[in-house]
Structure 1
Amino acid sequence: MQITFLGTSSGVPTRSRNVSSVALRLPQRAEMWLFDCGEGTQHQIIRSELKISQLSRIFITHMHGDHIFGLMGLLATCGLAGNVDRIDIYGPPGLNEYLQAASRYSHTHFSYPLKVHVVRPGIIYEDDEFTVSCGLLQHRIPAFGYRVVEKDRSGRFDIEKAKELQIPAGRIYGQLKRGETVTLSDGRVIDGNQLCGPTEIGRKIAYCTDTVFCDGAVELAHDADVLIHEATFAHQDADMAFQRLHSTTTMAAQTALGAGAHRLIMTHFSPRYAPGNSVELKDLLLEARAIFPKTDMAYDFFTYQVPRRREVELIKAGV
């Protein structure tokens, strides 16, 4: 699971930061999922190492322009390129009507299946590998945060040990890999768990923007390996954050701390903290780290490989 930030500015783009969009690449299934699609997102994808042809799902948090103005252009490009099999879009009420109107007035017709799903709090998508759920945040209009959970997998099957035990290959191996208990033809009872390594704990990602500090964000981020959270304002501008229902750096850090998240990556920064101003982005990072040390600050094209829990344990142990 690889996260790539395609836009990290709030409201309007700057020379160095585009507006909101985050890509989640799933190499094991040659898919890319997109979270929000601000204006210019397709240009950012083209500039990155991501492939538009792998786009399969888009999750929209809310209907503000800096999160959706790039959606219609991206979908049109997918149709003209002709290399997308199907796209499912998830988002709040009004999203389908918006796309239908844009399609009608621009005379755009899609050459691939496109389905819009209106989300409600709870599970909105599930397959054999992943579960995606959403929850309400607190913003000026209905806004949803998303939680992606990779399902746990059985540990690596020890084929050599199975051969030593003279267990016949074939269907039985499949049963043992799944951790099942099997009775062999000679009467021996084999517990598959004894032939498998430790269970691989599935990774968890939470995406929360736009919102002021709220319980909904903490719930979505519970035990997340990575929490992606907006940090539009510095702590000194908390009054403005409450007025506009956006988060400060300290709110983002408190969300991560309260949720027991393992890492926080902040995004959606106000252009007011540009270099040379009294408060700069580096100051925002220090504010968050004072509360939650494992905090990073995203920038456009920043890529983060989400490690498995086992990998993190080995790194800590110096293995």
Structure 2
Amino acid sequence: MRLVTVGCSGSFAGPDSPASCYLVQVPAAEAAAAGFAARDWSVVLDLGNGALGALQRFVDPLDVDALALSHLHPDHFVDVCGLYVYLRYHPVRGSSRTGVPSRLPVLGPSGTARRIEEAYGSEPGDGLGGELDVRPWEPGAPVRVGPMTLEPFRVFHPVEAYGVRVTGPSGVRPGERAVLAYTGDTDVCDGVVELARDADLLLSEAAFHEGRDDGVERGIHLTGRRAGEVATAADARRLVLTHLPAWNDPERSRAEARETYPGPVDVATTGAVFEV
């Protein structure tokens, strides 16, 4: 299983990266060894503004097996509107040519279907032509996508928000399973620690800096330091910081995390690949 950081800019697209979007893949050989169809399996975590364009560098959107949305702030979901256009109107494989809707599974908070319709400007209940099969997250109810299992954990944010725990065949330990935990947007809470418990890789937002953002109300974002605290409390084996706004200093975020977490700390960049 591998993680590709497609978009890692926090709260809005930056000059070097789109907003949040992460591609998790199980390559064909790993899928076959685990007893699944010998093809690349692809799950996308979030699809924020600008992300659909960058995603096409790594996978054809028509080959995505599921889209998982952590919450419904625009920097995490709004490019679903463009994805709908791609699925429907692609000149060769789009449903307007084939007559067969994609029915792409889209997992998200309650109200996701209506929020997408509103963003696109379609009528309530239109369902965007059947291209998107929108399903609400149910905490404690894992969702199987081929060789991967997705499990939502409610986290601490001003809107209904989830972190997503992805379990699949390990790309570095043949025959074993690996865990990737993605926080979405959150502050420290019991849910994010349980999400990250014993994870091989914790992909954690770190939008705030210690000191600079102390006056902002809690429950919005982690700092590098607090992300490190979560990783330590959860015994995560590796920490990757993401969702850094363009005005943040990545090295300051990394230094904050190292104050509270003894393991390896990376900062996500667009196109970076992490084997899990």
TM class by shorter-chain length? 0.7 to 0.9
**Structure ID, larger Rg:** 1
Between the aligned partners of 1:77 and 1:21, the Cα distance in structure 2 is 17
The answer as to 2:257 corresponding to 1:305 is no
The one-letter code matched in structure 2 to 1:55 is V
The answer as to 2:111 corresponding to 1:94 is yes
Between the aligned partners of 1:263 and 1:282, the Cα distance in structure 2 is 17
Match of 2:193 in 1: 218
1:41–1:74 Cα contact (<8 Å) kept: no
Between the aligned partners of 2:128 and 2:160, the Cα distance in structure 1 is 28
1:200 positional shift: 2.6
Match of 2:237 in 1: 262
The one-letter code matched in structure 2 to 1:53 is L
Q: Which of 75, 79, 85 lines up with 2:88 in the alignment?
A: 79
Paired residues in the alignment total 253
1:33 positional shift: 0.7
Between the aligned partners of 2:155 and 2:127, the Cα distance in structure 1 is 33
Q: Which of 150, 153, 167 lines up with 1:135 in the alignment?
A: 153
SS of match in other structure, 1:219: helix
1:206–1:224 Cα contact (<8 Å) kept: yes
1:79–1:112 Cα contact (<8 Å) kept: no
The answer as to 2:221 corresponding to 1:246 is yes
1:261 positional shift: 0.8
SS of match in other structure, 1:299: coil
- TM-score normalized with structure 1 length: 0.73
Q: Which of 264, 282, 294 lines up with 2:264 in the alignment?
A: 294
1:265 positional shift: 0.6
1:141 positional shift: 0.8
SS of match in other structure, 1:271: coil
Between the aligned partners of 1:116 and 1:299, the Cα distance in structure 2 is 29
1:50 positional shift: 2.3
Structure 1 residues 128 and 41, CA gap change in structure 2 (3 angstroms): closer
1:284 positional shift: 1.4
Match of 1:64 in 2: 73
Structure 1 residues 234 and 127, CA gap change in structure 2 (3 angstroms): closer
SS of match in other structure, 1:123: coil
The one-letter code matched in structure 2 to 1:99 is I
Match of 2:22 in 1: 22
- TM-score normalized with structure 2 length: 0.83
Residue identity (%): 25
SS of match in other structure, 1:261: coil
Q: Which of 209, 229, 236 lines up with 2:184 in the alignment?
A: 209
Between the aligned partners of 1:133 and 1:49, the Cα distance in structure 2 is 24
Q: Which of 144, 153, 165 lines up with 1:126 in the alignment?
A: 144
Counterpart mapping for 1:109-120 below 5 A: 113-120=131-138
Between the aligned partners of 1:72 and 1:236, the Cα distance in structure 2 is 37
| Deviations 1:60-119 (CA, angstroms, capped at 9, x unpaired) | 1111111111111112112222537541000001111122342626xx986765311111
Task: With a CA cutoff of 8 Å and minimum separation of 6, indicate the structure with the bigger relative contact order.
Answer: 2
Between the aligned partners of 1:241 and 1:257, the Cα distance in structure 2 is 24
Residue ranges of structure 2 left out of the alignment (5+ in a row): 29-38, 95-101
Calculate the aligned-residue CA RMSD, in Å: 2.5
Higher deviation after alignment, 282-291 or 130-139: 282-291
| Deviations 1:106-139 (CA, angstroms, capped at 9, x unpaired) | xx98676531111121123126733221111000
The answer as to 2:42 corresponding to 1:32 is yes
| Deviations 1:227-254 (CA, angstroms, capped at 9, x unpaired) | 1110001222352454462100011111
